[in-house]
Amino acid sequence: MLEIMKQRAKELLESGRVVRVLGWQRGDFPNLREPVFFTTAKQLDNLEYDRFCAANLSKYLIGTDVPTLAFLKPCDTYSLNQLVKERQINRQMTYIIGIGCEGSAKLTDMEENGTLERCLVCTKTVHAAFDELIGEDAAPREKNDRFAGVGEIEAMEIAARYTFWQDHLARCIRCNACRNICPVCHCKKCVFDNTKYDTAQRANASAFEEQMFHIIRAYHVAGRCTDCGECNRACPQAIPLHLLNRKLISDINHMFGEYQAGTDTETPGPLTNFDIEMDKEVGL
Amino acid sequence: MEKIGVFVCHCGSNIKGNVDTAAVVEQISHVDGVAMAVEYPYMCAEAGQAMIRNAITEHGLTGVVVAACSPRMHEATFRKAAERAGLNSYMVEIANIREQCSWVHRDTVSATKKAVALARAAVAKVHRNTPLHPGESSVTKRALVVGGGIAGIQAALDIAEAGFEVTIVETTPSIGGKMAQLDKTFPTLDCSACILTPKMVDAAGHDNIAIHTYSEIEKVEGFVGNFTVSIRKKARSVDMDKCTGCGDCWAKCPVKRVPSEFDSGLCNRTAIYTPFAQAVPNVPVIDRTNCVKFKTGRCGLCRTVCQPGAIDFDQQDEIITENFGAVVLATGYDTISLDKFGEYAYHDSPDVLTALEFERMTNAAGPTDGRIVRMSDGHKPKSITFIQCVGSRDITNRGKTYCSKICCMYTAKQAILIKDKYPDVDVQVFYIDVRTPGKNFDEFYRRAAEEYGVKYIKGQVGKVVNVGDTLHIQAVDMLEGRHMDIQTDMIILATAIQPSATAKTTAGMFSSSVDQNHFMTEAHPKLRPVESHTAGVFLAGCGQGPKDIPETVAQASAAAAKVIGLLVKDKLMTNPCTAATDEDLCNNCGLCGNVCPYGAITYESKLTASVNNALCQGCGACVVTCPSGAMDLHGFTNRQLMAEVDAICK
């Protein structure tokens, strides 16, 4: 499959259909696959695609103003759609080759058997957008419930829940990896860095990470989060950030009906739409 | 350095009775930036306002906090007072220590503590306030009235008389509405048509009134003073200019079995028809779904007989666009469907009528020439039973929880009309309560019961069964606690009324709202009963809530007065508390535009969102949606609100 991908990328590059190719190449560590833009056919010899190519490439297409080919796994295409909907990506400037996916693996997993949590509960097995496909849509997964973890926390006593999150969030070193890797965190300037509202100063206060940062971030992406799981994958402190997002997704599903962000580029998001009818139906 | 004056109101004993106002003054006077703090029994009184004005001058105050009642009550009052003393009115903030403190907390200690916290928050906000200046917008001196019933007609006549052009848009082929269908009106028993039709004629002949019947609102843009409305004039298939209203067409029409909407289905009409004899305009309409020409291509008899050649089968819907400064929504009511009320046998027996059907039957111009007969056999009934509250005050989900308000009175009226015509007919009424608040209403009801001998039975009917040629009623007399099993010849149902089907969509087009029952919501139930939530859009008639004719007319005239008050102005002040984009932060993601209920946000520059200040109502939906904080609301900036929260949490 990799050879076909290289072949097609070279063809599209040489024909002038695209002027660069977004994919992965080997990084400095054994299983590290880093996102990269290729601009020549020769460079494309370094294109890699295997289970370690977990990185969601959609975010790198933000603002692209030259025809760019991108290889996207099924789940990545949801982020692409969401970003097109939020007018951050000009779809006309992209050429999307949807590629098959058997689930990505953890970077640290030398044995090649540690599939990412997000892939174990994957629901986005079909490409939501593409110009052509190479390989199958995603391999079918075991029917694991992605909201099981949310349910466990909801079942806890409030004090236990508080302790659970405090224990996890206290490890946060505010490296901002979760924010930087998140496709829908595309603000020019993050509110946490913004001196205009005195929030940047608050960010330095004690216990901020435990009590504010991640909660605010989850709310800012609520209704827009495609559950791509990149925040969780990128966190060096192994904080289960996906649980915060999934809690909000689960609540939205309950209140507004099943909703998957990024399914298309038109449907208004449940929290970012004005609809008198819908407002009344929400029995809050 | 800010110099803020804090003015604590007692509101007589309303506040002082439960808040230690002296302690509020004492504690707030130590807050940074507070130059002076005083208390006074009635801040809103002239003497209180003078205190504020004098303090602004004497102390050179840069900001004012009034700790008093709700800002909805007196914010405007205090802002005006400050303005008179030369302080920008947006440098005044209200701390609500009445509704939010003294009235809701039982003990003085906690009420006082909260009053201090709220005053501190208001001071913190004033610190971050900046002077704001309202803009101006122009006024198109024309009004739109949606709905041509008595509410719409009255509003249009009043506005037109004041010298402004009015356009009435009515969905049916004639103006007149439900009132045109009624026989007599309570409590005076004057003939409905006799008092309505002259008004219809007045409206039709008025130089300032244009009437579009068989028309619908297609699209609305703009804002108070400057609405642009597209009106769809549905194809009538008859040229309004050529038609003389002679009636030859419908006399010849071979389709004669379409249930007449105007006669509540008691008789039939033709496919080309005018709904009733006094229709305005007196120009027929071809009902294309029932017309043979439109169904099969053959026929065309009406065109053959039409001398002036007014029939036009090729006519298309026409969309006209007009500008208006103000709008009255008078979309009226309908009766509810009785599909879910099988126990009354409405669909099983032609002798079970709704009250509106009975209005047509008892009307001298109606299908029976005013004779009261059983639809099943044409015989005069010996006994007639009314059932009230059919679907009204009904807490099951098949009916309406509200009282339809008019039924008690029209039931009494219809009972009297029957007794007047046929004193020998037994008339009985099943009721839950008889509600007669209104001038001469209770006297009228008592006349029915006492003079005319109408039997009022407190109780609800459980079941009606159609047996042979009589109707069997099973009911309970609640006062005597006995089960009743009676027979009657005819039943009249006081069916609940509901807003007409177009109310919700029409309100939506004008960014106005409806309540859980789809009645249009007024801006304030007591103090702004004819205004909608959208500036420049006013409400009249049953679209806003159930009401009788006098109330409808009063509300229509009130709405007209509001419209006139608006249209006489040459310029309108615009609210300066609108949203604005920080272009350095905005990344044009489009979320703010999605949530804006007023369509005020556009992305024409392609780089950032931009807000149309004339359209923006300052609701703040965009501000809370913007993830990066690029959107902010003048007068309620994120910084101001954060400062308030901080002050309260200190």
3-state secondary structure A204-262: CCCCHHHHHHHHHHHHHCCCCCCCCCHHHHHCCCCCCHHHHHHHHHHHHHHHHCCCCCC
Q: For B418-437, write each residue's pLDDT tens digit.
A: 999 999 999 999 999 999 99
Residue of A nearest to B584 (CA): A188
Dmax over CA atoms of chain A, in Å, equals: 62
Residue of A nearest to B583 (CA): A188
Mutation for A interface: B128, B513, B585, most A CBs within 10 A = B585
With beta carbons less than 8 A apart as the criterion, state whether A65 and A90 touch. yes
Size of interface A-B (CB pairs under 8 A): 66
* C-beta atoms of B582 and A196 within 8 A: yes
pLDDT at position A103, please?
85
d(CA B390, CA B386): 10
Residue of A nearest to B515 (CA): A280
CA distance B522 to chain A (A): 16
pLDDT at position A281, please?
55
Instruction: Provide the whole-model pTM.
Output: 0.71
Triad B260, B263, B267: Cα angle to 5°: 60
ipTM summary value: 0.88
Residue of A nearest to B625 (CA): A272
Q: Pick A86's closest partner by Cβ from B582, B591, B629.
A: B591
Residue A133 to residues A129, A136, B146, Cα–Cα distance (Å)? 10, 8, 54
Query: Domain B146-227+321-332+500-567 is of which CATH architecture?
Result: 3-Layer(bba) Sandwich (3.50)
d(CA B37, CA B61): 11
Mutation for A interface: B591, B606, B625, B632, most A CBs within 10 A = B591
pLDDT at position A211, please?
76
Q: Which residues of B touch A271 (CB under 8 A)?
A: 625
Q: What is the DSSP letter of A142?
A: -
B274 pLDDT higher than 70? yes
Q: Which are the contacts of A47, defined by CB distance < 8 A and separation ≥ 6?
A: A2, A5, A6, A9, A21, A23, A24, A25, A38
Q: What angle in degrees, to the nearest 10, is found between the helix axes of B638-649 and B108-128?
A: 150
Q: Which residues of A touch B639 (CB under 8 A)?
A: 196-198
- Neighbouring-strand partners of residue B215: B233
* C-beta atoms of A268 and B588 within 8 A: no
Q: What angle in degrees, to the nearest 10, is found between the helix axes of B46-59 and B71-84?
A: 50
* C-beta atoms of B628 and A197 within 8 A: no
B112 pLDDT higher than 50? yes
DSSP B553-614: HHHHHHHHHHHHHHHT-SEEEEPS--EEE-TTT----SHHHHH-TT--EE-TTSSS-EE-TT
CA distance A247 to chain B (A): 19
Cis peptide before B281 (omega within 30 of 0): yes
Pick from B527, B610, B510, B541: nearest CA to B224:
B510
Q: Which residue has the higher pLDDT, B180 or B575?
A: B180
Q: Which residues of B touch A191 (CB under 8 A)?
A: 627-629
Q: Which residues of B touch A272 (CB under 8 A)?
A: 591, 594-595, 625
Q: Pick B639's closest partner by Cβ from A191, A197, A272.
A: A197
Residue B500 to residues A243, B171, B597, Cα–Cα distance (Å)? 47, 11, 23
Comparing A4-8, A266-270, B305-309, B498-502, the range with the smallest average pLDDT is: A266-270
d(CA B441, CA B451): 15
pLDDT at position A277, please?
63
Average pLDDT of the segment spanning B503-528:
90
B611 pLDDT higher than 70? yes
At residue B34, what are phi and psi to the nearest 5 degrees?
A: -85, 115
Domain(s) of CATH 3.30.70.20: residues in chain B = 575-634
With beta carbons less than 8 A apart as the criterion, state whether B97 and B67 touch. yes
Average pLDDT of the segment spanning B564-584:
93
Q: Which residues of B touch A198 (CB under 8 A)?
A: 639, 642
- Report the CATH fold assignment for B4-128: Rossmann fold (3.40.50)
Q: Which residues of A touch B621 (CB under 8 A)?
A: 274
Residue of B nearest to A197 (CA): B639
Q: For B402-420, write each residue's pLDDT tens digit.
A: 999 999 999 999 999 999 9
Residue B5 to residues B37, B131, B470, Cα–Cα distance (Å)? 6, 16, 80
Q: Which residues of B touch A (CB under 8 A)?
A: 508, 513-514, 516, 582, 584-591, 594-597, 603, 621, 625, 627-630, 638-639, 642
B606 pLDDT higher than 70? no
As a whole number of Å, the end-to-end CA separation of chain B is 22
With beta carbons less than 8 A apart as the criterion, state whether B386 and B428 touch. yes
Residue of B nearest to A221 (CA): B627
As a whole number of Å, the end-to-end CA separation of chain A is 49
* C-beta atoms of B629 and A269 within 8 A: no
Q: For B591-602, write each residue's pLDDT tens digit.
A: 999 999 888 999
B67 pLDDT higher than 90? yes
Q: Pick A87's closest partner by Cβ from B508, B588, B621.
A: B588
Q: Which residues of A touch B516 (CB under 8 A)?
A: 280
Domain(s) of CATH 3.50.50.60: residues in chain B = 146-227+321-332+500-567, 335-498
CA distance A196 to chain B (A): 8
Q: How many CB atoms lie within 10 A of CB B512?
A: 23
Q: Which are the contacts of B123, defined by CB distance < 8 A and separation ≥ 6?
A: B4, B6, B28, B31, B33, B34, B63, B65, B93, B647
* C-beta atoms of A269 and B594 within 8 A: yes
Q: Which residues of B touch A222 (CB under 8 A)?
A: none
CA distance A191 to chain B (A): 5
Q: Which residue is listed with tokens 């790198």?
A: A60
Residue of B nearest to A195 (CA): B639
d(CA B209, CA A144): 68
pLDDT range class, residue B229, cuts 50, 70, 90: very high
Buried-state track B531-568, b at ≥16 Cβ within 10 A, e below 16:
bbbbbbbbbbbbbbbbbbbebbbebbbbbbbbbbebbe
Sheet holding A33-38, edge to edge: A33-38, A20-26, A68-72, A94-99, A132-134
Q: Which are the contacts of B51, defined by CB distance < 8 A and separation ≥ 6?
A: B7, B38, B40, B43
Q: B575-634: which CATH number, 2.50.20.10, 3.30.70.20, 3.40.50.980, 3.40.1670.10? A: 3.30.70.20
Triad B476, B397, B479: Cα angle to 5°: 20
* C-beta atoms of A220 and B627 within 8 A: yes
Q: For B560-572, write each residue's pLDDT tens digit.
A: 999 999 999 999 9
Pick from B298, B287, B275: nearest CA to B236:
B287
Measured torsion, CA atoms of residues A200, A202, A203, A204, in degrees rounded to the nearest 10: 110
pLDDT at position A284, please?
40
Q: Which residues of A touch B627 (CB under 8 A)?
A: 187, 191, 220-221
Q: Pick B642's closest partner by Cβ from A186, A198, A276.
A: A198
Mutation for A interface: B513, B583, B616, B628, most A CBs within 10 A = B628
Chain CA centroid to CA A251, Å: 19
Q: For B342-384, write each residue's pLDDT tens digit.
A: 999 999 999 999 999 999 999 999 999 999 999 999 999 999 9
* C-beta atoms of B589 and A87 within 8 A: yes
Average pLDDT of the segment spanning B91-107:
96
Q: Pick A86's closest partner by Cβ from B582, B589, B629.
A: B589
d(CA B411, CA B457): 13
With beta carbons less than 8 A apart as the criterion, state whether A75 and A225 touch. no
Domain(s) of CATH 3.40.50: residues in chain B = 4-128
Q: For B55-65, write each residue's pLDDT tens digit.
A: 999 999 999 99
pLDDT 10s digit of each residue in chain A, 284 long? 899 999 999 999 999 999 999 999 999 888 899 999 999 999 999 999 988 999 999 999 999 999 999 999 999 999 999 999 999 999 999 999 999 888 888 877 655 568 888 888 888 888 999 999 997 765 556 667 889 999 999 999 999 999 999 999 989 988 999 999 999 999 998 888 887 776 666 666 667 667 788 999 999 999 999 999 999 999 999 999 999 999 999 999 998 889 999 999 999 888 888 876 665 555 44
With beta carbons less than 8 A apart as the criterion, state whether B260 and B268 touch. yes
* C-beta atoms of B628 and A274 within 8 A: no
Task: Give the residue extent of every domain in chain A.
Answer: 2-134, 148-271
At residue B522, what are phi and psi to the nearest 5 degrees?
A: -85, 160
Query: Domain B335-498 is of which CATH architecture?
Result: 3-Layer(bba) Sandwich (3.50)
Q: How many CB atoms lie within 10 A of CB B447?
A: 17
Pick from B386, B366, B382: nearest CA to B374:
B382
- Neighbouring-strand partners of residue A68: A20, A94
CB-count burial class (<10 Å; 0-12, 13-18, 19+) for A29: exposed
The answer to whether residue A86 neighbours chain B at the CB level (below 8 Å) is yes
Q: Which are the contacts of A226, defined by CB distance < 8 A and separation ≥ 6?
A: A75, A78, A79, A82, A124, A183, A184, A260, A261, A262
> A279 in helix, strand or coil?
helix
Q: Pick B589's closest partner by Cβ from A88, A198, A274.
A: A88
With beta carbons less than 8 A apart as the criterion, state whether B36 and B59 touch. yes
In this structure, the strands spanning B190-191 and B579-581 are unpaired
Mutation for B interface: A199, A276, A282, most B CBs within 10 A = A276
- Mean model confidence pLDDT for chain B: 95
Q: For B532-545, write each residue's pLDDT tens digit.
A: 988 899 999 999 99
Q: Pick A197's closest partner by Cβ from B597, B627, B638.
A: B638
